[in-house]
């Protein structure tokens, strides 16, 4: 036998002393969709929804200008940019895009949550500090906001099941958004629910912006601070603007 073959054999021979070592294999997962893609999806769809919420909030403020201004704005939404675009087209485009974005956001969130639990294992980690509690709250506030969207649409858009007694659907040249809103928030339970959800939404948005900065790879100190500031300001605006409307209706300031 040539010398080098003998040496190779000696090098590759496995010497087993005693029983083989007991090993607990590390879990290894091959994900179909990478987690970073899911996180970027959540960041983009979340930003889209935050932009929608900001516009919605700005529109809602017309409630302080009175019934006519508010109803006129509600009616304009139905035929925005007519005759350039067909009536209801902007409304439906928004509904489709936001609906798909929401679906993607929820699916990605559920997958991330599940992967996180699996990767952590049975021993739960300690949660400390505002940042960690904020992240811990995200799925919870998210689920409640999802329920709120369903209730909100049933209550003030479709008028199905849980609408107020005096609900009136929009007709071809007029909307009754103001009357519907006042009738709905006269019910204390509904008013409290709306205001409470606005608090949860504010927390979700504020935390969402800081997470989004990280997920979109914003490494600069100023970038991150700016995004956190925008999120914080939007959260405060949601709390003060949207959150106040049901309470003002309930106390009789808006009627």
Return residues touching other proteins (CB under 8 A).
22-31, 34-36, 38-40, 112-113, 115-121, 123-129, 131-132, 135-136, 138, 207, 210-211, 213-219, 224
Helix, strand, coil percentages (3-state) for the chain, rounded to 5, are 70, 0, 30
In total, the chain counts a number of residues equal to 255
d(CA 167, CA 189): 17
Give least dist CB 36 to other proteins, A: 5
Helical (H) or strand (E) element with 1: none
Nearer to other proteins, 16 or 28 (CB): 28
Nearer to other proteins, 41 or 60 (CB): 41
Nearer to other proteins, 6 or 31 (CB): 31
Give strand pairing partners of 171: 174
Per the listing, tokens 């980690």 go with: 125
Phi-psi domain of 164 (left: phi exceeds 0; alpha: psi -120 through 50; beta: other) = beta
Give least dist CB 136 to other proteins, A: 7
Nearer to other proteins, 46 or 243 (CB): 46
CB 202 within 8 A of CB 236: yes
CB 79 within 8 A of CB 87: yes
Q: Say what the alpha-carbon torsion angle 63, 67, 69, 70 is, to the nearest 10 degrees.
A: 50
Give least dist CB 168 to other proteins, A: 43
Nearer to other proteins, 208 or 246 (CB): 208
Give me the helix-helix angle, 35-60 and 221-237, nearest 10°: 40
Give least dist CB 220 to other proteins, A: 9
Nearer to other proteins, 129 or 252 (CB): 129
Give least dist CB 104 to other proteins, A: 16
Give least dist CB 204 to other proteins, A: 13
């Amino acid at each position: 036998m040539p010398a080098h073959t003998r040496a190779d054999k000696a090098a590759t021979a496995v010497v087993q002393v005693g029983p083989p070592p007991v090993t607990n294999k590390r879990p290894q997962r091959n994900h179909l969709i990478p987690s970073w893609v899911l996180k970027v999806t959540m960041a983009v769809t979340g930003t889209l929804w935050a932009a929608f919420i900001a516009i919605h909030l700005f529109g809602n403020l017309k409630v302080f200008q009175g019934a006519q201004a508010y109803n006129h704005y509600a009616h304009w939404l139905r035929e925005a940019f007519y005759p350039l675009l067909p009536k209801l087209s902007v409304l439906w485009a928004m509904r489709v895009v936001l609906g798909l974005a929401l679906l993607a956001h929820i699916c990605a969130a559920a997958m991330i949550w599940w992967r996180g639990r699996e990767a952590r294992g049975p021993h739960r980690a300690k949660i400390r500090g505002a940042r960690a509690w904020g992240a811990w709250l995200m799925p919870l506030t998210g689920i409640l906001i999802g329920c709120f969207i369903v209730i909100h649409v049933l209550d003030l858009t479709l008028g199905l099941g849980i609408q107020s007694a005096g609900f009136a659907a929009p007709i071809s040249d007029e909307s009754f958004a103001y009357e519907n809103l006042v009738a709905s928030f006269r019910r204390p339970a509904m008013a409290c629910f709306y205001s409470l959800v606005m608090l949860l939404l504010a927390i979700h948005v504020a935390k969402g912006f800081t997470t989004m900065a990280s997920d979109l790879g914003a490494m600069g100190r100023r970038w991150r601070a700016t995004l956190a500031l925008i999120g914080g300001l939007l959260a405060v605006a949601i709390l003060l603007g949207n959150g106040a409307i049901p309470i003002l209706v309930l106390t009789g300031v808006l009627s």
